[in-house]
Amino acid sequence: MIPRYTREDMGEIWTLQSKFAAWRKVEIAAMRAWAELDEIPQWAVKDVKENTFVDVQRIMEIEKETRHDVVAFVTSLSEQVGDAGRYIHYGLTSSDVIDTAGGMLIKEAGYLLLSALDNLREALAQQACRYKDTPMIGRTHGVHAEPMTWGLKLALWYEELGRARERLTDAVDEAACGKISGAVGTYAQVPPQLEIMICEELGIKTAEVSSQIVGRDRHAAFLTQIALTGTLLEKFATEIRNLQKTEVREVEEPFRSGQKGSSAMPHKRNPIVTERISGLARLLRSNASSAMENVALWHERDISHSSVERVILPDSTILLDYMLFKMTEVISDMHVYPENMRRNLEMTGGLVYSQKVLLSLVSMGMSREEAYSVVQECAMKAWEDGGSFRERISQDERVRSLLSDEELKNCFDVRQQIDNVDVVFNRLGLI
Protein backbone atom coordinates (compact mmCIF):
# COMPACT_ATOMS: atom_id res chain seq x y z
CA MET A 1 0.00 0.00 0.00
CA ILE A 2 1.19 3.50 -0.80
CA PRO A 3 2.54 5.52 2.17
CA ARG A 4 -0.40 7.97 1.96
CA TYR A 5 -2.76 5.38 3.44
CA THR A 6 -0.31 3.49 5.65
CA ARG A 7 -0.08 3.98 9.41
CA GLU A 8 3.27 3.11 10.90
CA ASP A 9 2.42 0.22 13.21
CA MET A 10 0.37 -1.67 10.64
CA GLY A 11 2.76 -0.92 7.81
CA GLU A 12 5.65 -2.27 9.84
CA ILE A 13 3.99 -5.69 10.10
CA TRP A 14 4.13 -6.17 6.34
CA THR A 15 7.69 -5.05 5.63
CA LEU A 16 10.20 -7.54 4.26
CA GLN A 17 12.13 -7.22 7.51
CA SER A 18 9.06 -8.23 9.51
CA LYS A 19 8.15 -11.08 7.16
CA PHE A 20 11.61 -12.60 7.21
CA ALA A 21 11.80 -12.12 10.99
CA ALA A 22 8.60 -14.18 11.29
CA TRP A 23 10.10 -16.84 9.01
CA ARG A 24 13.18 -16.95 11.24
CA LYS A 25 10.99 -17.47 14.32
CA VAL A 26 9.35 -20.44 12.60
CA GLU A 27 12.71 -21.94 11.64
CA ILE A 28 14.09 -21.55 15.17
CA ALA A 29 10.88 -22.93 16.71
CA ALA A 30 11.18 -25.93 14.38
CA MET A 31 14.79 -26.50 15.36
CA ARG A 32 13.92 -26.25 19.04
CA ALA A 33 11.11 -28.79 18.59
CA TRP A 34 13.42 -31.16 16.71
CA ALA A 35 15.98 -30.83 19.49
CA GLU A 36 13.36 -31.64 22.14
CA LEU A 37 12.62 -34.79 20.17
CA ASP A 38 16.38 -35.55 20.15
CA GLU A 39 16.55 -35.38 16.36
CA ILE A 40 19.07 -32.52 16.16
CA PRO A 41 21.66 -31.23 18.66
CA GLN A 42 20.81 -28.45 21.13
CA TRP A 43 24.00 -26.58 20.26
CA ALA A 44 22.73 -26.11 16.71
CA VAL A 45 19.59 -24.41 17.99
CA LYS A 46 21.66 -22.14 20.21
CA ASP A 47 24.05 -21.26 17.38
CA VAL A 48 21.29 -20.34 14.94
CA LYS A 49 19.28 -18.42 17.55
CA GLU A 50 22.25 -16.37 18.76
CA ASN A 51 24.24 -15.87 15.57
CA THR A 52 21.75 -15.33 12.75
CA PHE A 53 19.84 -12.21 11.79
CA VAL A 54 17.61 -11.06 8.96
CA ASP A 55 19.66 -9.52 6.16
CA VAL A 56 17.08 -8.35 3.67
CA GLN A 57 19.62 -7.08 1.16
CA ARG A 58 21.50 -10.38 1.14
CA ILE A 59 18.28 -12.38 0.79
CA MET A 60 17.27 -10.28 -2.21
CA GLU A 61 20.69 -10.76 -3.78
CA ILE A 62 20.45 -14.54 -3.44
CA GLU A 63 16.88 -14.57 -4.75
CA LYS A 64 18.02 -12.97 -7.99
CA GLU A 65 19.83 -16.24 -8.68
CA THR A 66 17.58 -18.80 -6.98
CA ARG A 67 14.28 -17.17 -8.00
CA HIS A 68 12.90 -18.66 -4.80
CA ASP A 69 12.50 -16.45 -1.74
CA VAL A 70 12.43 -19.21 0.88
CA VAL A 71 15.57 -20.83 -0.52
CA ALA A 72 17.25 -17.43 -0.55
CA PHE A 73 16.19 -16.83 3.04
CA VAL A 74 17.45 -20.22 4.26
CA THR A 75 20.71 -19.75 2.39
CA SER A 76 21.22 -16.35 3.97
CA LEU A 77 20.77 -17.74 7.49
CA SER A 78 23.00 -20.72 6.77
CA GLU A 79 25.80 -18.44 5.62
CA GLN A 80 25.88 -16.81 9.04
CA VAL A 81 26.67 -19.99 11.00
CA GLY A 82 28.86 -23.03 10.56
CA ASP A 83 27.72 -26.65 10.75
CA ALA A 84 24.49 -25.64 12.50
CA GLY A 85 23.26 -24.30 9.18
CA ARG A 86 22.49 -27.79 7.92
CA TYR A 87 19.67 -28.09 10.47
CA ILE A 88 17.88 -24.93 9.33
CA HIS A 89 14.67 -25.83 7.46
CA TYR A 90 15.15 -29.46 8.50
CA GLY A 91 12.22 -31.57 7.25
CA LEU A 92 10.19 -28.51 6.24
CA THR A 93 8.65 -27.41 2.98
CA SER A 94 8.45 -23.74 2.01
CA SER A 95 4.76 -23.38 2.82
CA ASP A 96 5.32 -24.76 6.30
CA VAL A 97 7.32 -21.63 6.94
CA ILE A 98 5.32 -19.18 4.84
CA ASP A 99 1.88 -20.16 6.12
CA THR A 100 2.87 -20.53 9.76
CA ALA A 101 4.64 -17.17 9.73
CA GLY A 102 1.69 -15.76 7.80
CA GLY A 103 -0.64 -16.87 10.59
CA MET A 104 1.51 -14.96 13.05
CA LEU A 105 1.40 -11.80 10.93
CA ILE A 106 -2.34 -12.07 10.40
CA LYS A 107 -2.83 -12.37 14.17
CA GLU A 108 -0.69 -9.31 14.81
CA ALA A 109 -2.46 -7.28 12.12
CA GLY A 110 -5.86 -8.52 13.25
CA TYR A 111 -5.28 -7.38 16.82
CA LEU A 112 -4.33 -3.92 15.59
CA LEU A 113 -7.56 -3.78 13.58
CA LEU A 114 -9.64 -4.82 16.59
CA SER A 115 -7.97 -2.15 18.71
CA ALA A 116 -8.69 0.51 16.06
CA LEU A 117 -12.28 -0.69 15.82
CA ASP A 118 -12.65 -0.39 19.59
CA ASN A 119 -11.40 3.20 19.43
CA LEU A 120 -14.03 4.06 16.83
CA ARG A 121 -16.79 2.41 18.85
CA GLU A 122 -15.75 4.42 21.90
CA ALA A 123 -15.94 7.65 19.91
CA LEU A 124 -19.38 6.67 18.61
CA ALA A 125 -20.59 5.83 22.11
CA GLN A 126 -19.51 9.22 23.43
CA GLN A 127 -21.11 11.16 20.60
CA ALA A 128 -24.26 9.03 20.66
CA CYS A 129 -24.78 9.83 24.33
CA ARG A 130 -23.97 13.49 23.76
CA TYR A 131 -26.64 13.81 21.06
CA LYS A 132 -29.10 11.23 22.38
CA ASP A 133 -31.89 13.79 22.65
CA THR A 134 -30.95 16.04 19.73
CA PRO A 135 -33.92 15.84 17.34
CA MET A 136 -33.48 15.62 13.59
CA ILE A 137 -35.58 14.38 10.72
CA GLY A 138 -35.36 10.74 9.77
CA ARG A 139 -35.40 10.12 6.05
CA THR A 140 -36.57 7.15 4.02
CA HIS A 141 -36.08 7.12 0.25
CA GLY A 142 -34.37 10.49 0.80
CA VAL A 143 -37.73 11.98 1.82
CA HIS A 144 -38.65 13.29 5.27
CA ALA A 145 -40.23 10.50 7.32
CA GLU A 146 -40.53 11.09 11.09
CA PRO A 147 -38.44 12.73 13.81
CA MET A 148 -35.53 10.80 15.30
CA THR A 149 -32.31 11.89 17.01
CA TRP A 150 -28.74 12.23 15.83
CA GLY A 151 -27.66 10.17 18.82
CA LEU A 152 -29.91 7.29 17.74
CA LYS A 153 -28.26 7.23 14.32
CA LEU A 154 -24.84 7.05 15.97
CA ALA A 155 -26.04 4.36 18.38
CA LEU A 156 -27.03 2.24 15.38
CA TRP A 157 -23.52 2.62 13.96
CA TYR A 158 -22.05 1.68 17.35
CA GLU A 159 -24.13 -1.50 17.43
CA GLU A 160 -23.31 -2.40 13.85
CA LEU A 161 -19.60 -2.16 14.61
CA GLY A 162 -20.17 -4.39 17.63
CA ARG A 163 -21.33 -7.14 15.29
CA ALA A 164 -18.43 -6.38 12.97
CA ARG A 165 -16.03 -6.82 15.88
CA GLU A 166 -17.43 -10.24 16.71
CA ARG A 167 -17.16 -11.38 13.11
CA LEU A 168 -13.66 -9.98 12.68
CA THR A 169 -12.50 -11.56 15.94
CA ASP A 170 -13.66 -14.97 14.72
CA ALA A 171 -12.05 -14.42 11.32
CA VAL A 172 -8.70 -13.43 12.85
CA ASP A 173 -8.77 -16.49 15.10
CA GLU A 174 -9.52 -18.73 12.12
CA ALA A 175 -6.86 -17.23 9.85
CA ALA A 176 -4.13 -17.07 12.53
CA CYS A 177 -3.32 -20.69 11.82
CA GLY A 178 -0.14 -22.59 11.03
CA LYS A 179 0.83 -25.94 9.53
CA ILE A 180 3.97 -28.05 9.63
CA SER A 181 2.76 -31.09 7.73
CA GLY A 182 5.14 -31.31 4.80
CA ALA A 183 4.82 -31.18 1.06
CA VAL A 184 1.30 -32.64 0.76
CA GLY A 185 0.07 -32.63 4.36
CA THR A 186 1.01 -36.22 5.19
CA TYR A 187 3.68 -35.58 7.85
CA ALA A 188 5.98 -37.82 5.82
CA GLN A 189 9.14 -36.02 6.96
CA VAL A 190 7.94 -34.44 10.19
CA PRO A 191 6.02 -36.00 13.10
CA PRO A 192 2.59 -34.49 13.86
CA GLN A 193 3.68 -33.54 17.38
CA LEU A 194 6.32 -31.24 15.88
CA GLU A 195 3.56 -29.16 14.28
CA ILE A 196 1.73 -28.83 17.59
CA MET A 197 4.91 -27.87 19.44
CA ILE A 198 5.83 -25.19 16.89
CA CYS A 199 2.40 -23.57 16.65
CA GLU A 200 1.96 -23.54 20.43
CA GLU A 201 5.31 -21.80 20.84
CA LEU A 202 4.38 -19.22 18.21
CA GLY A 203 0.94 -18.58 19.72
CA ILE A 204 -1.26 -19.62 16.81
CA LYS A 205 -3.70 -22.41 16.07
CA THR A 206 -2.72 -25.62 14.32
CA ALA A 207 -4.61 -26.63 11.20
CA GLU A 208 -6.46 -29.86 11.88
CA VAL A 209 -5.68 -30.96 8.33
CA SER A 210 -3.79 -29.27 5.51
CA SER A 211 -2.45 -29.94 2.04
CA GLN A 212 0.81 -28.26 1.14
CA ILE A 213 -0.82 -25.12 2.52
CA VAL A 214 -3.40 -23.95 5.01
CA GLY A 215 -6.82 -23.83 3.33
CA ARG A 216 -7.38 -20.43 1.77
CA ASP A 217 -10.98 -20.27 2.90
CA ARG A 218 -9.48 -19.02 6.17
CA HIS A 219 -7.86 -16.07 4.43
CA ALA A 220 -10.98 -15.44 2.35
CA ALA A 221 -13.10 -15.24 5.50
CA PHE A 222 -10.62 -12.82 7.08
CA LEU A 223 -10.54 -10.52 4.05
CA THR A 224 -14.30 -10.75 3.63
CA GLN A 225 -14.83 -9.53 7.18
CA ILE A 226 -12.34 -6.75 6.56
CA ALA A 227 -14.33 -5.78 3.46
CA LEU A 228 -17.62 -5.92 5.34
CA THR A 229 -16.24 -3.73 8.11
CA GLY A 230 -15.00 -1.30 5.48
CA THR A 231 -18.45 -1.32 3.89
CA LEU A 232 -19.97 -0.29 7.21
CA LEU A 233 -17.51 2.59 7.33
CA GLU A 234 -18.63 3.50 3.82
CA LYS A 235 -22.22 3.51 5.04
CA PHE A 236 -21.33 5.96 7.82
CA ALA A 237 -19.26 8.06 5.44
CA THR A 238 -22.06 8.24 2.88
CA GLU A 239 -24.53 9.44 5.50
CA ILE A 240 -22.16 12.15 6.71
CA ARG A 241 -21.54 13.24 3.13
CA ASN A 242 -25.28 13.55 2.53
CA LEU A 243 -25.84 15.47 5.74
CA GLN A 244 -22.99 17.83 4.81
CA LYS A 245 -24.71 19.01 1.62
CA THR A 246 -25.06 22.78 1.69
CA GLU A 247 -28.85 22.71 1.61
CA VAL A 248 -28.92 20.19 4.49
CA ARG A 249 -25.82 21.04 6.56
CA GLU A 250 -26.78 19.15 9.68
CA VAL A 251 -23.36 17.55 10.13
CA GLU A 252 -19.88 18.23 8.75
CA GLU A 253 -16.66 16.30 8.97
CA PRO A 254 -13.86 18.33 10.64
CA PHE A 255 -12.36 21.18 8.64
CA ARG A 256 -8.95 22.01 10.10
CA SER A 257 -7.26 25.38 10.41
CA GLY A 258 -5.32 26.08 7.23
CA GLN A 259 -7.17 23.39 5.27
CA LYS A 260 -8.14 24.24 1.69
CA GLY A 261 -11.30 22.86 0.11
CA SER A 262 -10.68 23.78 -3.49
CA SER A 263 -7.86 25.18 -5.58
CA ALA A 264 -10.38 27.39 -7.39
CA MET A 265 -13.14 28.18 -4.88
CA PRO A 266 -11.98 29.51 -1.50
CA HIS A 267 -15.38 28.96 0.11
CA LYS A 268 -15.44 25.15 -0.28
CA ARG A 269 -15.58 22.78 2.73
CA ASN A 270 -15.65 19.41 1.03
CA PRO A 271 -16.17 16.05 2.78
CA ILE A 272 -12.85 14.74 1.51
CA VAL A 273 -12.15 12.25 4.31
CA THR A 274 -15.53 10.54 4.12
CA GLU A 275 -15.30 10.51 0.34
CA ARG A 276 -11.88 8.88 0.66
CA ILE A 277 -13.31 6.24 2.99
CA SER A 278 -16.09 5.52 0.50
CA GLY A 279 -13.53 5.05 -2.25
CA LEU A 280 -11.17 2.84 -0.26
CA ALA A 281 -14.04 0.53 0.71
CA ARG A 282 -14.23 -0.45 -2.95
CA LEU A 283 -10.66 -1.71 -2.81
CA LEU A 284 -11.42 -3.83 0.23
CA ARG A 285 -14.33 -5.48 -1.56
CA SER A 286 -12.25 -6.18 -4.66
CA ASN A 287 -9.52 -7.69 -2.48
CA ALA A 288 -12.08 -9.93 -0.78
CA SER A 289 -13.19 -11.13 -4.19
CA SER A 290 -9.57 -11.96 -5.05
CA ALA A 291 -9.24 -13.88 -1.78
CA MET A 292 -12.20 -16.04 -2.78
CA GLU A 293 -10.56 -16.74 -6.13
CA ASN A 294 -7.55 -18.04 -4.16
CA VAL A 295 -9.55 -20.82 -2.51
CA ALA A 296 -9.80 -23.12 -5.52
CA LEU A 297 -6.26 -24.29 -6.30
CA TRP A 298 -4.98 -27.27 -8.29
CA HIS A 299 -4.77 -30.50 -6.32
CA GLU A 300 -2.73 -30.03 -3.13
CA ARG A 301 -1.69 -26.54 -4.16
CA ASP A 302 -0.49 -24.41 -7.03
CA ILE A 303 1.20 -21.04 -6.74
CA SER A 304 -1.47 -18.84 -8.33
CA HIS A 305 -2.60 -17.59 -4.92
CA SER A 306 0.86 -16.50 -3.77
CA SER A 307 1.28 -13.39 -5.87
CA VAL A 308 -2.24 -12.25 -5.00
CA GLU A 309 -1.71 -12.65 -1.26
CA ARG A 310 1.44 -10.60 -1.32
CA VAL A 311 -0.78 -7.69 -2.31
CA ILE A 312 -4.20 -8.22 -0.76
CA LEU A 313 -3.23 -9.23 2.79
CA PRO A 314 -1.01 -6.19 3.45
CA ASP A 315 -3.20 -3.80 1.48
CA SER A 316 -6.50 -4.78 3.09
CA THR A 317 -5.24 -4.70 6.66
CA ILE A 318 -3.37 -1.44 6.08
CA LEU A 319 -6.39 0.17 4.43
CA LEU A 320 -8.90 -0.85 7.07
CA ASP A 321 -6.53 0.31 9.81
CA TYR A 322 -6.27 3.68 8.08
CA MET A 323 -10.02 3.92 7.45
CA LEU A 324 -10.86 3.14 11.08
CA PHE A 325 -8.40 5.77 12.26
CA LYS A 326 -9.76 8.46 9.92
CA MET A 327 -13.39 7.67 10.74
CA THR A 328 -12.55 7.92 14.44
CA GLU A 329 -11.17 11.41 13.79
CA VAL A 330 -14.32 12.35 11.87
CA ILE A 331 -16.68 11.10 14.57
CA SER A 332 -14.68 12.60 17.44
CA ASP A 333 -14.35 16.08 15.94
CA MET A 334 -17.34 16.40 13.61
CA HIS A 335 -19.33 19.59 13.49
CA VAL A 336 -22.98 19.11 14.44
CA TYR A 337 -25.61 21.80 13.82
CA PRO A 338 -28.71 21.16 15.99
CA GLU A 339 -30.30 24.40 14.81
CA ASN A 340 -30.14 23.23 11.20
CA MET A 341 -31.57 19.88 12.24
CA ARG A 342 -34.47 21.70 13.85
CA ARG A 343 -34.94 23.91 10.78
CA ASN A 344 -35.05 20.93 8.46
CA LEU A 345 -37.35 19.08 10.83
CA GLU A 346 -39.86 21.92 10.67
CA MET A 347 -39.50 22.85 7.00
CA THR A 348 -42.57 20.84 5.90
CA GLY A 349 -44.92 22.56 8.32
CA GLY A 350 -45.55 19.47 10.42
CA LEU A 351 -46.03 16.89 7.68
CA VAL A 352 -43.71 14.54 9.53
CA TYR A 353 -46.30 14.16 12.31
CA SER A 354 -48.99 12.77 9.99
CA GLN A 355 -48.88 9.26 11.46
CA LYS A 356 -49.44 10.58 14.97
CA VAL A 357 -52.52 12.49 13.76
CA LEU A 358 -53.74 9.39 11.91
CA LEU A 359 -53.47 7.19 14.99
CA SER A 360 -55.09 9.82 17.22
CA LEU A 361 -58.12 9.95 14.95
CA VAL A 362 -58.35 6.15 14.89
CA SER A 363 -58.12 6.00 18.68
CA MET A 364 -61.07 8.42 18.87
CA GLY A 365 -63.30 6.16 16.77
CA MET A 366 -62.67 7.11 13.14
CA SER A 367 -62.02 4.16 10.80
CA ARG A 368 -58.43 3.81 9.64
CA GLU A 369 -59.44 4.21 6.01
CA GLU A 370 -61.31 7.45 6.66
CA ALA A 371 -58.57 8.78 8.97
CA TYR A 372 -55.91 8.03 6.37
CA SER A 373 -57.96 9.80 3.70
CA VAL A 374 -58.50 12.89 5.89
CA VAL A 375 -54.85 13.19 6.87
CA GLN A 376 -53.54 12.52 3.38
CA GLU A 377 -55.89 15.10 1.87
CA CYS A 378 -54.49 17.80 4.15
CA ALA A 379 -50.94 16.55 3.62
CA MET A 380 -51.17 16.64 -0.15
CA LYS A 381 -52.49 20.20 -0.07
CA ALA A 382 -49.56 21.19 2.10
CA TRP A 383 -47.13 19.47 -0.30
CA GLU A 384 -48.63 21.04 -3.40
CA ASP A 385 -49.83 24.45 -2.25
CA GLY A 386 -47.41 25.14 0.57
CA GLY A 387 -48.40 26.38 3.97
CA SER A 388 -48.58 24.55 7.25
CA PHE A 389 -49.90 21.01 7.49
CA ARG A 390 -50.53 21.63 11.16
CA GLU A 391 -52.77 24.60 10.39
CA ARG A 392 -54.67 22.71 7.69
CA ILE A 393 -55.32 19.66 9.86
CA SER A 394 -56.29 21.86 12.82
CA GLN A 395 -58.91 23.62 10.70
CA ASP A 396 -60.45 20.45 9.27
CA GLU A 397 -63.94 19.99 10.78
CA ARG A 398 -63.66 16.19 10.68
CA VAL A 399 -60.56 16.43 12.85
CA ARG A 400 -61.90 19.17 15.12
CA SER A 401 -64.93 17.05 15.90
CA LEU A 402 -62.73 14.38 17.48
CA LEU A 403 -59.52 16.01 18.73
CA SER A 404 -59.20 18.87 21.21
CA ASP A 405 -56.61 21.64 20.95
CA GLU A 406 -54.49 19.90 23.57
CA GLU A 407 -54.70 16.56 21.77
CA LEU A 408 -53.71 18.20 18.49
CA LYS A 409 -50.83 19.95 20.21
CA ASN A 410 -49.57 16.62 21.48
CA CYS A 411 -49.62 15.24 17.95
CA PHE A 412 -46.99 17.78 16.96
CA ASP A 413 -44.77 17.44 20.04
CA VAL A 414 -41.36 16.25 18.87
CA ARG A 415 -40.43 15.15 22.39
CA GLN A 416 -43.22 12.60 22.42
CA GLN A 417 -41.87 11.22 19.15
CA ILE A 418 -38.41 10.54 20.55
CA ASP A 419 -39.20 9.57 24.15
CA ASN A 420 -38.49 5.90 23.57
CA VAL A 421 -34.97 6.46 22.26
CA ASP A 422 -33.75 5.76 25.80
CA VAL A 423 -34.85 2.15 25.38
CA VAL A 424 -32.27 1.63 22.64
CA PHE A 425 -29.51 3.22 24.69
CA ASN A 426 -30.38 1.01 27.65
CA ARG A 427 -30.22 -2.09 25.46
CA LEU A 428 -26.77 -1.11 24.29
CA GLY A 429 -25.58 -0.30 27.81
CA LEU A 430 -24.86 3.30 26.85
CA ILE A 431 -26.96 4.76 29.70
Residue 386 has pLDDT above 90, yes or no: no
Both 29 and 161 in a single domain? no
Both 238 and 327 in a single domain? yes
DSSP strand E in 14-150: where?
135-140, 143-149
- pLDDT tens for 168-223 read 999 999 999 999 999 999 999 999 999 999 999 999 999 999 999 999 999 999 99
Write out the residue range of the structural domain in which residue 391 sits: 351-411
Residue 95 has pLDDT above 90, yes or no: yes
Q: Is the residue at 421 inside a domain?
A: no
Q: Is the residue at 422 inside a domain?
A: no
* Average pLDDT across the chain, whole number: 97
Contacts for 91 with CB less than 8 Å, ≥ 6 apart: 30, 34, 182, 189, 190, 194
Percent of the chain with pLDDT over 90: 97
| Domain boundary residue, one of 64, 90, 116 | 90
Q: At residue 63, what is the residue type? A: E
Angle at 334 between CA 328 and CA 340, to 5 degrees: 145
Structure letter (DSSP) for residue 41: -
| Domain boundary residue, one of 317, 342, 367 | 342
| Domain boundary residue, one of 342, 360, 384 | 342
pLDDT confidence bin for 257, thresholds 50/70/90: confident
CB contact at 8 A, 136 and 150: yes
- pLDDT tens for 107-157 read 999 999 999 999 999 999 999 999 999 999 999 999 999 999 999 999 999
Both 253 and 399 in a single domain? no
DSSP codes, 173-187: HHHSEE----SSSS-
| Cβ burial, residue 63 (10 Å; 0-12/13-18/19+) | middle
For the segment 307-325, the average pLDDT, to the nearest whole number, is 98
- pLDDT tens for 67-78 read 999 999 999 999
Both 124 and 251 in a single domain? yes
Q: Is the residue at 423 inside a domain?
A: no
Tally of domains within the chain = 3
Both 25 and 58 in a single domain? yes
CB contact at 8 A, 34 and 44: no
CATH number at residue 154: 1.20.200.10
| pLDDT at residue 47, rounded to an integer | 98
Q: Is the residue at 14 inside a domain?
A: yes
- pLDDT tens for 132-143 read 999 999 999 999
Both 178 and 278 in a single domain? yes
Give the separation between CA 1 and CA 317, rounded to whole angstroms: 10
CATH number at residue 398: 1.10.40.30
Task: Please state whether the predicted TM-score (pTM) of the whole model is above 0.85.
Answer: yes
- pLDDT tens for 350-384 read 999 999 999 999 999 999 999 999 999 999 999 99
- pLDDT tens for 261-313 read 889 999 999 999 999 999 999 999 999 999 999 999 999 999 999 999 999 99
Both 42 and 191 in a single domain? no
Give the separation between CA 80 and CA 124, rounded to whole angstroms: 52
| pLDDT at residue 161, rounded to an integer | 98
Q: Is the residue at 431 inside a domain?
A: no
Both 24 and 157 in a single domain? no
Both 190 and 203 in a single domain? yes
Active site amino acids: 141, 262
